[in-house]
A and B are shown apart, each in its own frame.
Chain A
Amino acid sequence: MEVIDCSIIKEKAYVDKLDNGLKVIIVPKKETNKKYIIWGTNFGSNDNRFIYPETGEEVIVPDGVAHFLEHKMFEQPNGTNSLDTLMSLGLDANAYTTNDHTAYLFECSDDSTFYKGLDEFMDYVQSPYYTDQNVEKEKGIIGQEIMMYDDDPGFQLYLDTLKCLYEKFPIRIDIAGSIESIAGIHPDILYKCYNTFYNPGNMVLVISGNFEPEEIIKEVKSRLKPSKDIGKITRIFEEEPEKIYKDYIEKNMPVSMPIFMIGIKDIVVYPQERVKRHLAIETILGLLAGKSSELYKNLYENQNIFGELDYEYEFSKNYAHVLISGQSNNPQLVKNMLITQVEKLKKDGINQNDFDRIKRKIYGDFVTEFNDVASIGRMFLADSIKEVNSFDYVEKFDDITIEYATQILHEVFKEDKLALSVVKAN
């Protein structure tokens, strides 16, 4: 077992790769009563074409399969539903699906029920049970979930941004699929996905709370079912061009004021460069669009935006982009002012005081994540799927120099990589 010590924030992570290929990460938190466990597979909505290891055939799945599979994991052969079972123990159980992973989790604030919960939890994730009847029933429920998102302006705005940035890559497709696409889902396709992607070698288990690492690893191991080595999974993606697909998209929905999202497409870099790049981009975004920025001040005081500008850098092993969003009566103006500000920063260079200040903020934001076992669990899982080490966000901090940030500014913030998405009322 490898121990990663992040002494400056007084946290440690214990990482173990088990014989069956499962990666287990333990982040002990002595002071808290809350225990959190999250089990994720590197299978999300992007993984819609792959080689089925059993037969070598190529499988193309309907949109929304990863999410559908997540819903169906809870159903058990004896007619019970594991979500109900966990909840009736007083455990806060849930699951979610993203572009690149699916996660199952529960949270517990009572020592006595954790291990009962662990029995059920580890059993259901390892026991697929899909029938024509239970798959059919789920279509109505997920249909309602899809319709809920159809009415969510923020979600539509986000998806539209991705549709502009990407021409081929499946991130441009709704994670839940559509009512039409899920109609084509049947047990056979779910089993094929399960047998491929729910192999321990493709999964990561993260546990945080008051645990002795050696002890809890033993508990995990004793609940593992036999599995076979299926080797490396082959996923098939069409090649995605470096350029953006479209630079503008607009949708009409009943909103009180237009909302906008600016996306900037980035390239995928090697795992060892990802954290550094992320930190540098975060710093640049803070300088450009943060609450102390010139841009924000001008936009806010002249009533060209309401509220704050949200910004983030999203990336996985297969895609990377910057997102900046807000509420404005004049999204085009916001976009133009952002571009002007980028050019000004490139020309004037980054000011040392501003740079140091924003870096301190990023440090603080990262440390705050360690307040809560749930955010620790989600962070370590998501980072692990991205093939990065969460503690590097502190360890690599000093590597982010003005020179490096300037280089990234020139490399990433380019007008021809930028798209604008707008949702406004009729």
Chain B
Amino acid sequence: MDYEKIKLKDGVTIHKINTTKFKTNLFAIFLTTPLTRENVTKNALISAVLRRGTENYKSQNIIAKELENMYGASFDCGIDKNGDNQVLKFYVESINDDFLPEKYNLAEKSLKLLVDVVTNPLVENNGFKKEFVDVEKNTLKQIIEGKIDNKGRYALDRCFEEMYKGEPYGLYKYGYVEDLDKINEVDLYNYYKELISNCKVDVFISGFDMPNSGENQILDIFKPRTANYKVMTNLYIENKIDEPREVIEKMDVTQGKLMIGMDVLKLKKENRPAASMYSVVLGGGANSKLFQNVREKASLAYTAGASYIKAKNSVLIRCGIETKNYKKALDLIKEQLNQIKNGDFSEDDINSAKQLILASYKSIKETQDGEINYYFSQELSDEFVSIEKNIQDIEAVNKEQIVEIADKIALNTIYFLTDNN
């Protein structure tokens, strides 16, 4: 078996992926917890503080030297939003010993370091080290304020914020500056202890010739835990119809960013492949309605596309356009939406869209992170669907089903980031 799932105990799962495609082994630990306004900033801060030092590696400098000695093993951590969950992700990637000039037991060393960072933080006076928390609070503040630096990303996040006002998914994954002042190193450490005892823990081990000690090492650490974990799985979302909102925001920009958030109303689980196809016919690649008409025919944009957000059953359109072309682009986009509704697209369009989605499924196993994230997303939905089954489902989608999705599409929010004029 290429993929083996070992449930160590309630809420703690090891996923072993056996693959010979790569020069590296990849180890990851994901901590999953419900996304809430109360904890969103604390979670983001914890992932930043943990990488600063452990009881065994007391500073970032010592960790950095260890990683360099481990033939440039890389440690990475991040925060993600998956539906209404917040996920703290920690990774160590290192070269397989087969490709080193010497035997170094890199796999074992890597897993050990990763587990240490996540579960054995440096503690002083019953809290995280104060200096770490103070610096990381500032750094996180900068990340949050740095939202505006990438205009496309900023516009996308703002559109989600407007679409899901007052709901978990509308929260910014790095949290809020106003929360930071209230957080101190002792409270944060107490919150961490609660998190690590109650979150869902997924450990991923991808590569070949893997250390066998992994399971025991992880079991030992989580043995005392009596989990009380909760994960949000939403497979059926009603998605209520609201009056579509138009939000216009001004900034000192040269190019305008137009985002259109749409709900797929009352979508049943079995219709998800059709929703996926709908978004690709609309704006998935060079053959899509948006690319062909907004970019190629009207020369209005360089970027024009759409994506389907499975966890929320929504479709998001994004375009970078000249600010004066706002109305023109909006009308043209609405015309594309209507065309799909009226079945005004060809079998070729459908086939192109299918090929694009199939190619993305077929390439999942070609990157270690891609494969890990695929299995993780299965873990967060209430049933396991194999890549092969997903491929079959996409192949079976027909035109009527795509038109059916178009009928369920409701405009939620039009967001436009424009210049100061």
Contacts and interface: CB of A to CB of B under 8 A. Distances in A.
Interface in A95-129: 107-110, 113
Given A145-B302, A301-B135, A371-B22, A83 B366 contact: no
Contact of B363 (A34, A140, A291, A306): A34
B399 interface: no
A218 interface: no
Contacts of A107: 363
B68 interface: yes
Contacts of A371: 21-24, 367-368
Nearest to A90: B355
A90 B252 CA distance: 39
A144 B320 contact: yes
Interface stretch (B92-100, B117-125, B404-412): B92-100
A360 B93 contact: no
Interface size class, chain B: 35 or more
Given A88-B352, A144-B300, A368 B149 contact: no
Contacts of A364: 70-73, 94-95
A239 B138 CA distance: 47
Given A92-B359, A144-B322, A257-B145, A81 B286 contact: yes
Contacts of B356: 87, 90
Contacts of A347: none
Contacts of A90: 354-356, 358-359
B71 A292 contact: no
B296 interface: yes
Interface in A140-178: 140-142, 144-145, 147-148, 150-153
A343 to B, nearest CB: 22
B303 interface: yes
Interface stretch (B58-66, B209-217, B335-343, B372-380): B58-66
Interface in B271-288: 285-287
A307 interface: yes
Nearest to A425: B252
A108 to B, nearest CB: 8
B69 interface: yes
B101 A255 contact: no
Given A144-B301, A148-B302, A360-B71, A292 B20 contact: no
B253 A151 contact: yes
A292 B363 contact: no
B200 interface: no
Nearest to A150: B254
Given A92-B359, A365-B72, A303 B149 contact: no
Nearest to A366: B72
A393 to B, nearest CB: 13
B390 interface: no
Nearest to B151: A151
A256 B142 contact: yes
A253 interface: yes
Contact of A31 (B21, B301, B303, B354): B21
A88 B348 contact: yes
B262 to A, nearest CB: 23
B130 interface: no
A362 interface: yes
A110 B251 CA distance: 45
Interface string A349-381: 000000001101111110110111000000000
A91 B360 CA distance: 10
B363 A144 contact: no
Contact of A140 (B21, B22, B300, B365): B300
Interface in B118-149: 131, 135, 138-139, 142-143, 145-149
Given A32-B366, A364-B72, A8 B351 contact: no
Contacts of A327: 142, 146
A373 to B, nearest CB: 8
B295 interface: yes
A147 B324 CA distance: 13
B321 interface: yes
B362 interface: yes
Interface in B56-92: 60-61, 64-65, 67-73
B98 A10 contact: yes
Contact of B99 (A9, A110, A255, A372): A9
A141 B68 contact: no
B287 A300 contact: no
B299 interface: yes
A110 B359 contact: yes
B198 interface: no
Contacts of B131: 301
Contacts of A93: 286
Contact of A257 (B65, B68, B142): B142
User: Which 4 A-B pairs give the minimum distances between C-beta atoms?
Assistant: A140-B299, A90-B355, A364-B72, A361-B72
10 contacts: A32-B21, A88-B355, A141-B299, A147-B254, A150-B254, A255-B148, A290-B68, A292-B68, A360-B69, A368-B23
Interface of B: 20-24, 60-61, 64-65, 67-73, 93-95, 98-99, 101, 131, 135, 138-139, 142-143, 145-149, 151, 251-255, 285-287, 292, 295-296, 299-303, 320-322, 348, 351-352, 354-356, 358-359, 362-363, 365-368
